[in-house]
Structures are given as C-alpha cells and as structure tokens.
Structure 1
Amino acid sequence: MRQILVPIDPDEPARNRSALAQAIRICREEPASVRLLNVQPRLSGHVAMYFDPDELHQIQQQAGRDALEPARELLDAAGVRHASTIMSGRSAEVIAQAARRFGCDRVLFGEPGPSLAGRVFGSLAEQVRQLLPTGWYQVLGS
C-alpha cells in the first residue's frame, strides 16, 4: 500500500486543498493512505528561554493539531485512511525526514501561488526534492 505524505501549512489553505484533492483522487484509484504533517518552527533560544520546555512543546502540539484539523475533517469525509504527525524544525529537512521515517513514496504539495521567496530560494517542493534520493520518492507540486 502506498503511503502519501501531505505537508499542511495553515498559511497556505489553497495549496493544502490542492494537495488533499490529489491525495483523495490517488486513494480512490489505488490502495494508499495519507500521512498529514505539520511542521512547527523551532523557536530561537531567546524566545524559548521564557517558556518551560514542556509548556513550549504543548503550545506547539496544539498549534499543529489546530493546523491539521481541517485536513483531517476533509479526509474523514472522503473516507480516506490517514494519520497525522507534528514535528518541529526546518520545513524542507523535516518533510524529507518524515518521508523516510514513515515510508512515504509520494510527497504532495499542491499548487502554490506566486512567491518571491520561492523564486529566490526555490520552492519548498524543490528543496525537498534535493534532500530525497532520486528515484525513491515522488515529490508532486511546486
């Protein structure tokens, strides 16, 4: 059974919907399940020093659950098997790590709007493509 990774960014709802629509279509065509991923940014030491580590972890977990809820609801309504994970760190590195860790052979990003950062630094999908071995993973979207 295929395992599809869908990174969810609460700041990009259109992109999330696009990726989830692709995932639902794939799951209807072949045996597959979806792993939702929300990446929480690592906080600088200056910010983190004002929080108890457990409290900071709880805050990030709750923010991740909130970000993933619309995607979970959509997949539930479509009858698609799924699991979700919240991790923290640099987005491209964490997404590539999650794809390897969970045995995902596809990473779906959906279609983003134009972005100055994407033109300067390369899109997140391009960064993830560079971190994953060629031929083992399929990164869809831009």
Structure 2
Amino acid sequence: MNKVLIPVDDSSNTLLALKHAVSAYGKDANTQFHICNVQPRIYRHIGKFLSKQTISEWQEERAKIAAQSSAEYLERAGVGFSFTYVTGDKGEALRDEAVRLGCSRIVIGSSKKNSLSRLFENSATAKLLEISDIPVEVVTGKSIPTLERWGIPAIGAGAATALMAAVID
C-alpha cells in the first residue's frame, strides 16, 4: 500500500502539492492519501485560562477550515483520502504523523526561498528534510522574489562584514 501524507493549509503551495500527488499517484488503486494540518500549540500562560476541550475544539475547527479547499480538490479529483490534524512544531509533527500512519512518502508544497530565509523562518520543509527518514517530495511554486534573492544575502554579507570590522578594531 502506497500511503502519501500531504501537509495542507490554505496556501497556493498546498494546491501545487495536491496536484502533483494526484497526477503522480492518484491513478494507482493501492494509493491512500492522508491530508494533515498542523495547528500551533497554545502558550501555557494562555492555555491556563481555557479548558483542554475548548482548545482542542478551536484547533480542530481551524484545521478543518484550513483543509477545506484541499478536501474539495481531492473530492473533485475522485481520489479517496483521510484527514487529520496535529499540534506542535510543523516539521516534527508532520514526521510523527507520517510515521504513525505508516506513510511511504510525504509530498509538501513550498515556495522557492534561499537557505538564509529558511533558517530564520522555521521552515517546515527544511525541518522535514533534516529529520525525516520517510522520503519527502518538495513541489515548488514561483521563483524567489528579487528582494529575497539578492537583498537578504546582501544584508547578511553586509552584517558579516561589519561584524568582522568591529572584531578587528
């Protein structure tokens, strides 16, 4: 059985991953799709004022809203799927869910970014590639904006140069 986990939210990158997964694996009757949304943990100082049930219901509602367009796309494509949501760090939560479900691959949509941007963003894609033993297919969208392609590395190089100059003096 080929089980494919697809992380979903309401972004255009999710649609890219869904389209790729359906075209690559959707015709195989032995393929099961699992869409999964990751909800952030509630900070302890906020959570102490809410019941666990209230937090869980709120997260479930948000997850269903985030996955609604993905579920509609898969239904229109005529492929079967299941839906789950998890909480926590995106990369770790997705890897753990893929392991729990016995998935053979993870297909994730991602925008093109340079590695410096991914370092500061806490990218789920970068984290999955780092920690997952399950194969991760990354489906990329649009090219990087010019500012991010040239501006962020230039700012980083400028900051490094200024730091070296300060250390030398």
Q: TM-score, normalised by structure 2?
A: 0.74
Q: How many residues align?
A: 137
Q: For 1:99 and 1:125, how far apart are their aligned partners in 2?
A: 14
The answer to whether residue 135 in structure 2 is matched with residue 138 in structure 1 is yes
* Cα RMSD (Å): 1.9
1:59 counterpart SS class: helix
CA contact (8 A) 1:125 1:140 kept: no
Q: Which has the larger radius of gyration?
A: 2
Flag structure 1 segments of 5+ consecutive residues without an equivalent: none
Q: Describe the shift of the 1:57–1:23 C-alpha distance in structure 2 as closer, same or farther (beyond 3 A).
A: same
CA distance 1:54–1:28, change in 2 (3 Å): closer
| Counterpart-to-counterpart distance in 1, 2:70 and 2:43 | 28
Deviates more, 1:37-46 or 1:114-123: 114-123
Which structure's relative contact order is higher, taking Cα pairs within 8 Å and 6+ residues apart? 1
Matched position secondary structure for 1:109: strand
Which stretches of structure 1, 4 residues or longer, exceed 6 Å deviation after superposition?
A: none
Contact 1:35 1:84 (C-alpha < 8 Å) held by counterparts: yes
Q: Deviations over 1:56-79 (max 9, x none)?
A: 110111111111111111000001
Per the normalisation by structure 1, the TM-score is 0.87
- CA deviation map 1:99-138 (0-9, x unaligned): 11101111111231437641446742221122222xxx21
Which stretch of the first structure deviates more once superposed, 120-129 or 100-109? 120-129
CA contact (8 A) 2:35 2:83 kept: yes
Aligned to 1:2: 2
Supply the AA of the counterpart residue of 1:40.
Answer: Q
Which amino acid is 1:125 matched to? Answer: T
Letter in 1 for 2:137: L
